[in-house]
Amino acid sequence: MDNSQYFVLEGEGARDDVLGRLKKVLPLTGERKAAKKQLFLDTYDHRLYKKGFLLTNEDSRLILRDTGDGTSLSLDLHAEGGMPRFCRDLPECPFRDNLRSLIDVRALLPVVGVESRVTHLNLENEDGKTVAHINFEDVEVGDDGADKKVIHLLEAVPVRGYVEEFEKLTRYISDLGLAPAEGNIFSIALGAAGKKAGDYTSKVSVVLDTGMPSGEALKIILGSLLETMRKNEDGIMKDIDTEFLHDFRVAVRRTRSALTLIKGIFPESVKEKFKAEFAGIGRKSNELRDLDIYLLRREEYTEMLPPALRAGLDPLFEIIAREREEAHREFALELASDSYRRSIDTWEKFLNEPDAPGGALPGADAPVIGLAKLRIRKRYKKALKLGKSIDGSSSDRDLHTLRIECKKLRYYLEFFESLFPAGEIREVIRHLKQLQDNLGDYNDMHMQQERLKGYISKMNASENEGRDSIAAAGGLISELYMKQKEIRSEFHDRFEEFSSDEMKGLFDNLFSGN
């Protein structure tokens, strides 16, 4: 309820007219003018905006505003040595903690700059108490130059506890014939600059129709995944943050998974060719992702170890950081290579030309709903069968196989989510996710231990530094092993929920028939 409401004014002249008419009916006081220059910052996927927060750089301060309740936190950048890129660049303070809970490991990027001239007025009640504010804003959006745009806005700002007064105010403004604008200053300014706030998502966000031909639906899904890959290439090459690579890799894995659906719809040769190519791209990025995860875990690892062993982590992380630099250089070269570009271009060509020679097979015309139900049913059955065979004697390999199977089921559910009732399919995904988290964490603990063992063999035990690092790695391995055992002990509960009669019923309801 504490959100501001914006209205768009037609041209600069409209302000005096609107202000004059509002003043006739409302006690508006305390008129004052101000000018401000703001640079809006957000992550690539606009996490702050999506969670209802705005981060601006004004003068030498960073201001984090909660648009939900109007509160804000600020930080003096002079004192902190300039603009931070990550939360970890900031000293420990409430500002950092709040920001971290919103953006996690993503980098802050400049999104849009605005310069506003603001005329501010208060709406007072009979006690002289301010019960709402209004701001007339002439906003210049964008950098200097030709693409600079000016928009004129009226912002009505509520004060907590004065709901009726705010409603009265916005009613008066609407009665003057002004249209309420969607969103806040960030999305409005971005709109004026020809962009859309929060339009990137790493999720599969396709909307399909049950009667849509399977071939068309698959190309929509695959096309959206290709778009996600493309959008993340630049961020990977410029090494902005680790999540570009993460999103890119998920899109690659999803593409490989979607390719397994094309049997009978597109020629087998298409599947074989591109599955191999995307597998190659994924494989070439494995090392970089593994090392990214290590570096992100530095703090967590430090916490895990007793203080006496912590110093041994430094040389270990130096090695990891060096390896990571090298892995990044290699993968960036890969993305820039002719062979990668050729793969992606041929892939795009295939997706854009449905009737190319050797194109669709008869299955391409069947309604997608049948395909979706059949393939999800099969995956679920397979996952259940694998899961049931897991017992105390099962190997890491068995759990790994189940993990991969669950991942494929998850992808199928996400590809076709829009074909099914939202509440029910979200419920299925939620239970599956709990099982996946368990399997994922288990695998993760295993991989980390293996890698640490690898580092131990590289360390020189005859030097002090080497001995410290071996001790630290040893300490971590035993901690990770304990955690892994604990995760394993929770597996059966997670799997029981996933294979319960209730879940089976849900699957039957959603995915039987065709």
Partner 1 sequence: MITLALYSMKGGVGKTAAAVNLAHLASAETYRTLICDLDPQGASSYYFRIKAARNFNSSKFVKGGRFIDENIKGTDYPNLDLLPSKLSYRNLDLALDEMKNSKFRLRTIFREIEHEYDYLILDCPPGISLVSENVFNAADYILVPLIPTTLSVMTYEKLLEFFTKKEYDAGKLYAFFSMVESKKSLHREMMEKIESDGRNILRTRIPYRSDIERMGVYREPVTAFLPQSDSARFYAGLWEEIRGITGKGGTEG
- Out of 161, 211, 306, 392, name the contact with partner 1 by CB under 8 A: 161
Report, in Å, the least distance between residue 4 CB and partner 1: 13
Integer Cα distance of 246 and 239 in angstroms: 12
Distance CA 110, CA 221 (A): 31
The answer to the question of residue 11 lying near partner 1 (CB under 8 A) is no
Instruction: Name which of 95 and 380 has its Cβ closer to partner 1.
Output: 95
The Cβ-side half-sphere exposure at 485, using a 13 Å CA radius, reads 5
Question: Residue 410 in 3-state DSSP?
Answer: helix
Q: CA angle, corner 407, sides to 404 and 412, nearest 5?
A: 130
Q: Would you say 4 or 260 has its CB closer to partner 1?
A: 4
- Residue placing its CB nearer to partner 1 in the complex, 125 or 339: 125
One residue of 11, 20, 78, 127 binding partner 1 per CB under 8 A: 127
The verdict on 478 binding partner 1 (CB under 8 A) reads: no
**CA distance to 38, 164, 253, 346, per residue, from 355 (Å):** 50, 61, 26, 14
Contacting residue, 4, 119, 130, 394, with partner 1 by CB under 8 A:
130
Which of 26, 75, 87, 445 is in the footprint of partner 1 by CB under 8 A?
75
Residue 43 to residue 87: CA distance in whole angstroms:
12
Q: Report d(CA 309, CA 302) in Å as an integer.
A: 9
Distance CA 32, CA 130 (A): 15
- Write the binding mask 40 to 69 for partner 1: x where contact by CB under 8 A, - elsewhere: -----------------------------x
Q: In Å, how far are 10, 47, 84, 116, 154 from 192, measured between CA atoms? A: 14, 20, 27, 14, 15
Residue 73 interacting with partner 1 (CB under 8 A): yes
Is 72 an interacting residue with respect to partner 1 (CB under 8 A)? yes
Q: Does 76 contact partner 1 by CB under 8 A?
A: yes
The closest alpha carbon to 116, from 2, 5, 40, 191, belongs to 40
Least CB distance to partner 1 at residue 78 (A): 12
211 forms part of the interface with partner 1 (CB under 8 A): no
**At residue 504, what is the residue type?**
K
CB of 232 to partner 1, least distance (A): 34
Q: Interface with partner 1 includes 70 (CB under 8 A)?
A: yes
Is residue 223 part of the contact set for partner 1 (CB under 8 A)?
no
**Chain mean position to CA 3:** 24
Residue identified by tokens 């997706």 is 351
Total of residues contacting partner 1 (CB under 8 A):
20
Cα separation of 457 and 461, whole Å?
9
Contact characters 81-120, partner 1, x per CB under 8 A: ------------xxx-------------------------
Helix residue ranges, H only, 416-500 = 422-458, 464-498
Between the alpha carbon of residue 190 and those of residues 96, 140, 178, the distances in Å are 26, 11, 21
Per-residue contact string for residues 325-364; x = within reach of partner 1 by CB under 8 A: ----------------------------------------
Query: Among residues 68 and 505, whose Cβ is nearest to partner 1?
Result: 68
For partner 1, the closer of residues 94 and 177 by Cβ is 94
Among 70-78, 104-112, 232-240, 244-252, which window interacts with partner 1 (CB under 8 A)? 70-78
Shortest distance (Å) from residue 152 CB to partner 1? 25
Among positions 109, 118, 159, 456, the unique one binding partner 1 when judged by CB under 8 A: 159
Q: Smallest distance, Å, CB 223 to partner 1?
A: 43
Give first-to-last CA distance, the chain, whole Å.
Answer: 45
Minimum distance, C-beta of residue 72 to partner 1, in the bound complex (Å): 7
CA distances, 240 to each of 89, 234, 304 (Å): 14, 9, 28
Helices 268-296 and 338-352 pack at an angle, to 10 degrees, of: 130
Residues that bind partner 1 (CB under 8 A): 69-76, 93-95, 122, 127-130, 159-162
